[in-house]
Amino acid sequence: MADTLNGPVCEASDAAPEFPMPRAARCPFDPPPALKELQETAPLSKVRLWDGSRPWLVTRHADQRALLGDPRVSADTDSPGYPPKADGDGGDSKFGFIMLDDPEHARLRRMVTAPFAVKRVEALRPVVQGIVDGLVDELLAGPRPVDLVEAFALPIPSLVICELLGVPYGDHAFFQENTKTMVHRDATPEQRGQATREIAGYLGGLIGERLADPREDLLSGIAGRVRAGEIDRRMATEMALLLLLAGHETTANMIALGTLVLFRNPGQLALLRESDDPKLVVSAVEELLRYLNITHLGRRRAVTADIEIGGQVLRAGDGLILANEIANRDPEVFPDPDRLDLTRDARRHVAFSFGVHQCLGQPLARMELQVVYGTLFRRIPTLRAAVAFEDVRFKHDAFIYGVHSLPVTW
Ligand code: HEM
């Protein structure tokens, strides 16, 4: 009797739901139903991770923006309480600056911001239009059906980031294979570590070449910082790796998944294909970013000093997971949030995150997606899926959501 009374009556850890939660099989474009439920009933609550740790899960748009903009919230994986994504996550690598806090984060980020400024990116628009038109020409001249991921979605951002960095595109099979392993949730720590070492060795070699023989590219800019003594070669390699990885895995998945969701919403697709209003392409891209939020599984952070928010006190040393995918479906900000509406004003989405770590490449990603969605369906008006929807394999197993392949015909 005494045992029963003194035992753990209802340990909070038992009650905390496991994270990540699965999506509903029939709604692969929607966030997991459990996230929606938590947003409605317990927008700031604890979840349980694979290692038994219990970070806070933040689901409301307003709370996420407040916390992502709060200097008491750290992105450093070494901060006490930081929620690990998977066993051996990232090793001791901070991937340049994405897992560092200011002021060091800001110092490093500033070294590579210039090529991603809106003006510089706009100057690249004709180049990207040329790449997209060339790939559409190849599609039209080639066999049908064809995998849109391999033939179109992946080459566009890959060609662009290679051009910017000065990485030879001819090596794309090598680095794409390795970056795929790096973002694969089920890859073992050894596999992820091996892939990271392979690609870091490759990029380190290119930086060495640029140290000896600078050119007009971003790798040479990074090498210049090494020469000036501002960073060491290891950091230079990590920064190059971050840009190469972030520069193509994300946008490629947005292109393929966005095309598929438009196939499933023919009214919206017709609007995009037939509208004469250039502003529609711009708003369509924002809405697709909001609706699909491909960087699922949440932004990870740690609390470094107590924070009072939403009727809760987050303590120093608590972990945080900010699930952007559900913030982008917050009805307080986006009325009728589960409806894809290319005409809505979706600009307040957090698909590029918020605060000091918000996506550095967002002007480039936006411009690439605007060119793609303003071109693809106009040039191939009868473009459609060549497989049953039920047969499409979604990337539930990756840190960046999308589809493994998308056979299309016209
Ligand atoms: C549709 C495409 C893209 C999406 C959805 C996306 C999403 C994101 C998100 C959510 C973050 C924030 C991570 C965090 O808060 O922890 C981020 C950071 C970042 N992204 Fe992107 N991204 C995209 C394209 C790009 C491109 C084309 C580049 C170009 C190189 C890029 C470079 C970066 C970098 C360097 C960071 C780290 C910023 C920092 O820590 O200060 N991204 N991205």
The distance between the two most distant Cα atoms of the chain, rounded to a whole number of Å, is 80
Tens of pLDDT along 185-208? 777 888 888 888 899 999 999 999
Lowest-pLDDT choice from 52-61, 76-85, 355-364, 382-391:
76-85
- What pTM does this model have? 0.94
Ligand 1 centroid distance, CA of 386 (Å) = 31
Closest CA to 200 of 230, 226, 167: 167
Q: Domain with 20 in it: what CATH number?
A: 1.10.630.10
Instruction: Give the residue, out of 352, 370, 401, with the most ligand 1 atoms within 8 A of its beta carbon, to mutate for a pocket test.
Output: 352
Mean pLDDT of the 246-255 span: 92
Tens of pLDDT along 276-335? 888 999 999 999 999 999 999 899 999 999 999 988 999 999 999 999 999 999 999 999
Q: Sheet containing 73-74: which strands, arranged edge to edge?
A: 44-46, 56-58, 319-322, 299-303, 73-74
Instruction: Kindly state if the Cβ of 246 falls inside 6 Å of ligand 1.
Output: yes
**Please, what's the b/e burial string for 7-44 (b: 16 or more CB within 10 A of its CB; e: otherwise)?**
eeeeeeeeebeebbbebeeeebbbbbebbbebbeeebb
Tens of pLDDT along 384-403? 999 999 999 999 988 899 99
Instruction: Kindly state if the Cβ of 262 falls inside 6 Å of ligand 1.
Output: no
Instruction: Kindly state if the Cβ of 250 falls inside 6 Å of ligand 1.
Output: yes
Instruction: Kindly state if the Cβ of 327 falls inside 6 Å of ligand 1.
Output: no
Domain residue limits at 167: 2-90+98-409
Total number of domains constituting the chain: 1
Which residue's CA is the nearest one to ligand 1's atom 25?
Answer: 361
Instruction: Kindly state if the Cβ of 98 falls inside 6 Å of ligand 1.
Output: yes
